[in-house]
Structure 1
Amino acid sequence: MDLFEGNGALEKAHHEPLAARMRPDTVDGIVGQDHILGPGKLLRRAVEADLLGSIILYGPPGCGKTSLAEVIATTTRRRFERTSGVVANVETLRTLIKAAAHRKEHEGTETVLFIDEIHRFTKSQQDVLLPHVEKGTVTLIGATTHNPLFFINGPLNSRSQIFELAPLSEEAILVLLRRSLEDDKGLSPLHVTADEDALAHLARVSEGDARRALNALEIAALTTTPDAQGIVHITRGCAEDSIQKKAVLYDHDEDLHYDTISAFIKSVRGSDPDAALYWLAKMLYAGEDPRFIARRLVILASEDIGNADPRGLTIAVSAMQAVQFVGMPEARIILAQATTYLACAPKSNAAYLGIEAATTDVNTSRTLEVPEHLRNIHLADSATAAPDRKIPGKSADYSYPHDHKEHFFADQQYKPSSTVYYKPSNQGYEDTIARRLENWRAKRDAKGVTSNGKKGTTGPRDHGTPGPTEKTLIAEDREA
């Protein structure tokens, strides 16, 4: 006997996903978006009055973008057309727009064009829409999981209002799950009951994605054997089996990818190892390439730690090599070690600021010539050197620093300007560098040689007791 034989509701349940069947018919049926659809809100007023202009709905999967579009489809007096950025091409758009223009001219009927996943359209496809949205041939409703400021053409954005939908709360998803158990469009014909902790698990693990929660509930209902009374009872164990792995909102080359790596790097830079480990775990759980994370740590070691702890770069590079050699899942341990070391290391961006300042001068100022005594001595004296590169006698003007006390010669100029680029901080080992550099600059000033100026610091100098790493580095420097 076919379980669905002779029962229209059950037959529909067999063919259409629960999430699709449970889409609401009115604005009141949409949950979790009161910030844009609550009483008196602009979008709600526009939908109910059928005065909606072109809009872009932006939000994560399963938050209600398509549901809202379908509500508009049932309430508007205008013709409602649907397509998707996945399947539509330029010819599809032109056909839809041509039909809309014909209806408007000959029937006086306006057209609402809903494009799901509009971010998948290329620039040229989006450009096809622009003049017709501007003239009012179609009213555009675009739905996207991607930030429209980056993925939708600026002119199209400027002719549309952007509404951001939030991920659904666990409470909102529970409302939808309970509704699906009681509604004839949902699982009511199957006589399904569910434990509260089973529903709570689905709401929590779905991470704000109502579609995922509803589809998991349906899987549990359709794969659970009814009891003697014909009741399908869903337990916590059934719910766990139906959803398996927690969904983590993450895309591997777009917004959430870059948002999460940004949070990770900023946590390390901000010296919070706990936050850094959390974002690291999220990325790895979502399947991020550990080599990408390792490369970012190498950059951070120089940009944000630098000479405050020179070993940071060594550890980051070693971690990157080890990650490539070992692979997942053990690579997570290597990344965790490097992450926690760098997060707990003293911080300095002096090297980064120095190269940025020097690069700015190279780009914007007159290029300095290399002083004659610094030019290539071998090239200048070579018998094969070009005539215009030979500088007879000039090479003797260069003084070899290692021939002098402390391997330093104060009388020699290396740059014909006094601009200071490297300003070591008072953090970690860089404080030792700062003292040494200050001493060298003072000696040059005493000799009347054009100097790079006085040392700058990023804060009050603190000559307190150095930590173990700093002690070792200072000791090694003194022995050198």
Structure 2
Amino acid sequence: MYQPLADRLRPKSLDDVAGQQHILGEKGVLRRIIQGGSIPNLIFYGPSGTGKTTVAEIAAARIHRPFYRLNATTASLSDIKAITADVGTLLAPDGVVLYLDEIQYFNKKQQQSLLEFMENGKLTLIASTTENPYFYVYNAVLSRSTVFEFKPLEPEDVRPVIQRGIRRMGEDLQRLVHWEDGVDEYIARSCGGDVRKSLNAVEALFAAHAQDRGEIELTLEETKEVAQRSANRYDRDGDVHYDILSAFQKSIRGSDPDAAIHYLARLLESGDLISPCRRLMVIASEDVGLAYPQAVPIVKACVDSANMLGLPEARIPLAEAVIFLATAPKSNSAIMAIDQAMADVRKGKGGQVPVILRDCHYGGAEKLGHGQGYHYAHNYPHHYVKQQYIPDDLVGKKYYEYGENKTEQAAKRYWDLIKGEV
């Protein structure tokens, strides 16, 4: 029966697990918990191929209880009931250990069905998820569990696993294997910190030599074909998507064009054209704003051009927009003003519109006094006349503060002069 190379090489001890030194190192908390043998409910969170299942199995082996494994993508409520039915019987007098993979796919009712047994200690839950558990795991389960984050592995952590995989494949096939310099390093750097993906690439390399006779020679050229485009982790609905978009905007806000271009490349390499286009339009107003008001039409033109061209050519106008925004002066005065104003509105501040400003273009408005006493600004020098525009309960309130950039300071000097404040 076929068994994937990743399963054949699955570590049996924590010392053999690649990476994750922040939790599995000599003083790592998770290592000490597992070695202690008294294991609480655990949730492992992180990308695929980073050792979550492996560590869960090692942890489960430390508890002398029946071990069950479910995948939430296919399991049902009846599967949970079948497992919990054994609790307290001769089959599981001291309880059970349940490893639940991809727990984010369980709905609220399914997750809640575990609570009673988690509460009395008859069920030890070890769950894994590739999504942020604070978004996808219900609070009642989360509050009874300890969360550990598994991080993508560095190439130097993956490389020894790849070398071991190549040797194992050679042993299984009873063939001598040679590989060019750089083969293992290229796979390690291309797998995006995913051990399973790297070992799948090794298997694919050997599959390409299935018809060969004699020794097997793995070349760097064929390795590049097998491992291409695998390093870029991306999920349009997951954490990585939002993390990259967040880094993208913050890099532009921080005026770092190199970092911003890097994150644009990651978005585009994943085939995502919509997200960077939308985010660039937001940045033009939110982060550049009134420091360079022309940023909005300029970026709009680049975005329109990108959508008209499509990928791969769309990368050119989008790169122009990114570099333009990253190197433009910055101001958040507009968003600060509107956010403060909206906060006051939500608090119920802002009474009736002043009488002089009310609509007077209908019969009977004059009898109500609407619009009476209003001064038409264009009839006065510099098109300005002082009068109250804001509701009575907000008189004196300032939402907009001029930014320190050249454009807004020029406007400030102008209005200070017109309003007689200099």
TM-score scaled to structure 2, two decimals?
0.92
Of 149, 159, 173, 2:144 maps to 159
Deviation at 1:74, TM superposition (A): 4.6
Matching residue of 1:432: 410
Tell me if the contact between 1:219 and 1:242 (Cα under 8 Å) persists in the aligned partners.
Answer: yes
Deviations 1:342-401 (A, max 9, x none): 11111111111111121222222543222222111213xx2xx5xxx5536654522211
Matching residue of 1:374: 357
Give the Cα separation in 2 of the matches to 1:73 and 1:189. Answer: 34
Gaps of 5+ in 2: none
Give the Cα separation in 1 of the matches to 2:249 and 2:234. Answer: 17
Matching residue of 2:379: 403
Deviation at 1:297, TM superposition (A): 1.6
Tell me if the contact between 1:22 and 1:186 (Cα under 8 Å) persists in the aligned partners.
Answer: no
1:33 partner letter? Q
Tell me if the contact between 1:50 and 1:77 (Cα under 8 Å) persists in the aligned partners.
Answer: no
Matching residue of 1:86: 73
Gaps of 5+ in 1: 1-11, 444-453, 455-480
Of 135, 139, 150, 2:135 maps to 150
Matching residue of 1:330: 313
Tell me if the contact between 1:346 and 1:427 (Cα under 8 Å) persists in the aligned partners.
Answer: yes
Matched, 1:422 2:400: yes
Deviating beyond 6 angstroms after TM superposition, the runs of 4 or more aligned structure 1 residues are none
Matching residue of 2:124: 139
Deviation at 1:16, TM superposition (A): 1.6
Distance 1:296 1:391, change over 3 A: farther
Q: Percent identity?
A: 36
Matched, 1:265 2:243: no
Give the Cα separation in 2 of the matches to 1:413 and 1:37. Answer: 66
Matched, 1:413 2:388: yes
Give the Cα separation in 2 of the matches to 1:198 and 1:258. Answer: 32
Matching residue of 1:311: 294
Distance 1:38 1:361, change over 3 A: closer
Of 27, 31, 43, 2:14 maps to 27
Matching residue of 1:464: none
Secondary structure of the equivalent of 1:346? coil
Deviation at 1:209, TM superposition (A): 0.6
Deviation at 1:195, TM superposition (A): 2.7
Give the Cα separation in 2 of the matches to 1:373 and 1:306. Answer: 32
Give the Cα separation in 2 of the matches to 1:108 and 1:225. Answer: 50
Give the Cα separation in 2 of the matches to 1:185 and 1:158. Answer: 47
Tell me if the contact between 1:226 and 1:232 (Cα under 8 Å) persists in the aligned partners.
Answer: no
Give the Cα separation in 1 of the matches to 2:50 and 2:237. Answer: 21
Deviation at 1:46, TM superposition (A): 3.6
TM-score scaled to structure 1, two decimals?
0.81
Matching residue of 1:50: 37
Matching residue of 1:218: 203
Deviation at 1:312, TM superposition (A): 0.8
Give the Cα separation in 2 of the matches to 1:95 and 1:202. Answer: 42
Of 87, 101, 109, 1:100 maps to 87
Give the Cα separation in 1 of the matches to 2:411 and 2:230. Answer: 49
Of 356, 367, 383, 2:339 maps to 356
Distance 1:186 1:342, change over 3 A: farther
Give the Cα separation in 2 of the matches to 1:193 and 1:50. Answer: 43
Matching residue of 2:279: 296
Give the Cα separation in 2 of the matches to 1:224 and 1:88. Answer: 38
Give the Cα separation in 2 of the matches to 1:41 and 1:377. Answer: 73
CA radius of gyration, larger in: 1
